[in-house]
A and B are shown apart, each in its own frame.
Chain A
């Protein structure tokens, strides 16, 4: 079991499988968009795919299981390798390992004219420029110099793995302790509950949000320039905080974030109707919801009880109730009544409620419905965000150590070869051999240049 999770093969397989699942998630319409498929697929197929959670892949049990598996794999792999890395970093750095100077290529051996002591001191200074830690050891036969740097770079990979886990932890915190909701508030109106996304019900806020004003501004060419809601936060009718909410500039109140998401126009509750009695001239009236008025002939009192911008996809309409001696007579008055009659002949006989002349001899008609802006706010709380940010920062630091630092070690032996002083140079790196090779070549060049200058 341990060895199964400790395998990098598993990690690579999981990365590829998660990629493929994600590709599916971008091809198959997800969540609400999945409805578009119902026209093309049989109901049986739809419910089968639904059971496989293919319409909400990124929140499906099997996708989350893959992520859990990857996390376990990550932890086990790291734990498995950590002791070896630890040992490597804390290994005693031996400057005079004889094996390391065997079979060196000719260009890594320089013959110099100076004394062994003089050359060693000179090279030690050169080495100290590029390496943080330089050790020297002198024996009867030879002097040894060794330089080491970046030995902690091999821990960068653990930093990266840890950061991925921190980010996932942040995601989990957000999932359990956060919420993602929206609310639509018309100008001048308030809300104290928001709609959780995905049809998961209402969430009550322990304060009230009021939309004071919604503004749109345009550039000269008609492109939108600004969407702004001025909102106020209140509790027990006391104003606590007033702020604009602009796209890209959300407002926060008591840990909850409010974002400008969309907007629209909704009926303000005011309308203009026309009223004709028999063959008399029509009378124009401004009305509003809840306000009662007398019919011109005193046959009863009329009240507008609803104003809709688009009732049953038949356009603007108002609902009027007439309180007469015979009782209450409610009916709808559509603005586009002629068109509706044309498209649905006999509608008024079937549905008397749609007859604007239900209270004879009066005939009502609707001239216009007044509208006002409403703002659509995204409302979110995610206590996992600071954790995700911390994980991201850790990730960047991890990358820096992994990719920009290498554990480089260099060994130099200075001994006598006939009448010359022989300098042998070799090194090891855990990554970027090309860059390391360049560094060694540069060092050799520097040693040689100094040699030429002297002779």
Chain B
């Protein structure tokens, strides 16, 4: 299948983009940054084409459905949303240093999907439980949320690295000097988390509606539901700490890392717990 071949190439394109972003930070030459952006954009375009091809191919097989139905497809879509959101960020804040922290997350998701022997990359027919119009909206909103939180995670790492050494950050031209100033990173962390929070809420709401039609109850304390609520509560605590208690900087950065750990557990960890969301098991 041509789409999986393209997707395994995209994995390496993202790796190359990460390396270029890294070189740019070390050598501080604009050329590398431009190359990195071109590379990651190319990878994104190729990934988009592959996703569309996969979609079309499923219709040729007579089992047409949106490519969001198993673990392989979810990993591909996860990395796609991360790169999409990253490109929007890079374009908006006109700073390429976030690429060093976020593009590797997209690369790891792709590498996991393409290289892990336990993950089936074939197009599979939709089992009855997934034959719902809510599949697309639920998965899309959830993964947009995950991607925004991944962005906050990258920014949180950036903040902590930069704040570890305040002195050298003032030296222009050094690695840390290229990063946006701490206040800007802090504000961007907040904005990504706010965006992620909205999408996570939409993901939980669409999921509840779906569960109401599929399982006969909009909430059944299934581990994935519970963990999505835990993630929601952690980010809700973070938002209150920042908006009302005035927490800024390092504490928020650390909380954004903890929040992303919850996101990863909601996405991957719960597969090791028994529950209803077993479609993603490899």
Residues in B whose Cβ lies below 8 Å from that of A426: none
Restricting to A237-279, which residues have a CB under 8 Å from any CB of B?
A: 246-250, 257, 259-261
Asked, given contacts A12-B245, A395-B201, whether A250 binds B221 with beta carbons under 8 Å apart, the answer is: no
**In the complex, what's the smallest C-beta–C-beta distance from B241 to chain A, in angstroms?**
6
With A8-B244, A15-B233, A248-B131 in contact, is A25–B217 under 8 Å at CB? no
Contact at B125–A221, with CB atoms within 8 Å?
Answer: yes
Verify if B53 is at the interface (C-beta below 8 Å from A): no
CB of A396 within 8 Å of the partner chain: yes
Residues of A within 8 A of B243 (CB): 431
Q: Are A250 and B216 in contact (CB under 8 A)?
A: yes
Report the count of interface residues on B (CB-CB < 8 A).
47
Q: Which residue of B lies closest to A21 (CB)?
A: B230
In whole angstroms, what is the CA distance A361 to B22 when docked? 91
- Known contacts A403-B198, A434-B184; A58/B221 CB under 8 A: yes
Knowing A223-B124, A248-B128, A396-B205, the reply to whether A180 touches B229 (Cβ < 8 A) is no
The answer to whether A18 touches B201, judged by C-beta atoms less than 8 angstroms apart, is no
Contact code string B110-139 (vs A, CB < 8 Å = 1, else 0): 000000000000001101110110000000
Spot the interface stretch: A101-109, A143-151, A378-386. Answer: A378-386
* Bound Cα distance A404, B28 (Å): 35
Q: Is the CB of B226 within 8 A of A22?
A: yes
Task: Name the A residues within 8 Å of B213 (CB-CB).
Answer: 248-250
Is B63 a contact of A219 with CB atoms below 8 Å?
yes
Q: Tell yes or no: B171 within 8 A of A by CB.
A: no
Segment with Cβ contacts to B, from A37-45, A224-232, A306-314, A328-336: A224-232
Contact B216 A226, beta carbon cutoff 8 Å: no
Alpha-carbon distance between A108 and B187 when the two chains are bound, in angstroms: 22
- Judge whether B234 and A19 touch: CB under 8 Å: yes
Tell me the interface secondary structure of chain B in the complex: helix
A379 to B195, CA, bound (A): 37
B124 CB contacts on chain A under 8 angstroms: 221, 223
A180 touches B216 (CB 8 A): yes
A130 at the interface (CB under 8 A from B): no
Least Cβ distance of B237 to chain A in Å? Answer: 4
Q: Is the CB of B240 within 8 A of A15?
A: yes
Whether A225 contacts B221 by the Cβ 8 Å rule is: no
Query: Are A224's CB and B230's CB within 8 A?
Result: no
Q: Which of B138-191 contact A (CB under 8 A)?
A: 184, 187-188, 191
- Asked if residues B132 and A248 are in contact (CB atoms below 8 Å), the reply is yes
Q: How many angstroms from the CA of A18 to the CA of B244 in the assembled complex?
A: 20
Within 8 A of A (CB), among B261-282: 270, 273-274
A33 contacts B274, C-beta separation under 8 Å: yes
Q: Is the CB of A248 within 8 A of B214?
A: yes
Complex: chain B residue closest to A181, CB-CB: B216
Task: Specify which chain A residues have a CB less than 8 angstroms from the CB of B216 in the assembled complex.
Answer: 180, 250, 257, 259, 261, 378-380
A30→B221 contact, CB < 8 A: yes
Asked if A23 lies at the interface with its beta carbon under 8 angstroms from chain B, I say yes
Bound: A379/B131 CA distance, A: 20
Q: Are B125 and A219 in contact (CB under 8 A)?
A: yes
Write the chain B residue with the least CB distance to A171. Answer: B219
- Given A247-B214, A248-B129: A396 and B227 within 8 A (CB)? no
Question: Do B233 and A392 touch (CB < 8 A)?
Answer: no
Q: Is A11 part of the binding interface, using a Cβ–Cβ cutoff of 8 Å? A: yes
Most B Cβ at <10 Å: residue of A19, A22, A27: A19
Residues from 368 to 418 in A contacting B, C-beta threshold 8 Å: 378-380, 382, 385, 388-389, 392, 395-396, 399, 403
Cβ of B23 < 8 Å from any Cβ of A?
no
Residues of A within 8 Å of B241, CB to CB, are 12
Chain A residues positioned under 8 Å from B195 (CB to CB): 403
Do residues A227 and B128 form an inter-chain contact, with CB atoms below 8 A? yes
Does the CB pair A22–B201 fall under 8 Å? no
Interface contact A22-B230, CB-CB below 8 Å: yes
Chain A nearest Cβ from B84, distance in angstroms = 19
User: Given the complex of chains A and B, what is the CA–CA distance between A189 and B137 in angstroms?
Assistant: 38
Given contacts A18-B233, A180-B217, A396-B201, contact A385 B245 (CB under 8 A): no
Chain A residues near B201: list those with CB within 8 A. 395-396, 399
User: Does B27 have its Cβ within 8 Å of any Cβ on chain A?
Assistant: no
Residue of B nearest to A8 (CB): B244
A9 at the interface (CB under 8 A from B): yes
Known contacts A15-B240, A26-B273; is-contact A380 B131 (Cβ 8 Å): no
Q: Quick check: is B79 within 8 A (CB to CB) of the other chain?
A: no
**Which one, A19, A223, A257, contacts B125 given CB within 8 A?**
A223
Residues on the B chain within 8 Å of A225, using CB: 125, 127-128
Q: Which of B205, B214, B240 contacts A8 (CB 8 A)?
A: B240
Q: Is A439 an interface residue (CB 8 A)?
A: no
Closest B residue by C-beta to A164: B236
Q: Which residues of B contact A388 (CB under 8 A)?
A: 208, 218
Q: Is B34 an interface residue (CB 8 A)?
A: no
- Contact assessment for B187 and A433 in the assembled complex, using a CB-CB cutoff below 8 Å: yes
Q: A18-B233, A248-B132 are in contact. Are A380 and B217 (CB under 8 A)?
A: yes
* Shortest distance between the CB of A339 and any CB in chain B (Å): 33
B202 to chain A: which residues have CB within 8 Å? 396
In chain B, what residue has the closest Cβ to A388? B218
> In chain B, what residue has the closest Cβ to A260?
B128
Bound form: Cα–Cα A12–B247 in Å: 12
Is the Cβ of B187 less than 8 Å from the Cβ of A434?
Answer: yes
Asked if A432 lies at the interface with its beta carbon under 8 angstroms from chain B, I say yes
A210–B30 alpha-carbon span in the complex (Å) = 73
Q: Which residues of B contact A340 (CB under 8 A)?
A: none
Tell me if A94 is interfacial: C-beta within 8 Å of chain B.
no
Residues of B within 8 A of A22 (CB): 226-227, 229-230, 233
Q: Contacts A225-B128, A248-B128: A9 and B245 contacting too (C-beta < 8 A)?
A: yes
**Is A16 part of the contact surface with B, judged by Cβ < 8 Å?**
yes
Chain A residues in the interface with B (C-beta under 8 A): 8-9, 11-12, 15-16, 18-19, 22-23, 25-27, 29-30, 33, 58, 171, 180, 219, 221, 223-227, 246-250, 257, 259-261, 378-380, 382, 385, 388-389, 392, 395-396, 399, 403, 431-434
Given A26-B273, A434-B187, 10 more A-B residue pairs with CB atoms under 8 Å apart are A11-B240, A12-B240, A12-B241, A15-B237, A22-B233, A227-B128, A247-B131, A259-B215, A399-B198, A431-B243
- The 7 A-B pairs at the shortest CB distance, nearest first, are namely A247-B128, A378-B216, A15-B237, A259-B216, A219-B125, A248-B132, A26-B223
User: Can you sample 5 A-B contacts with CB below 8 Å?
Assistant: A12-B245, A15-B233, A58-B221, A58-B226, A434-B187
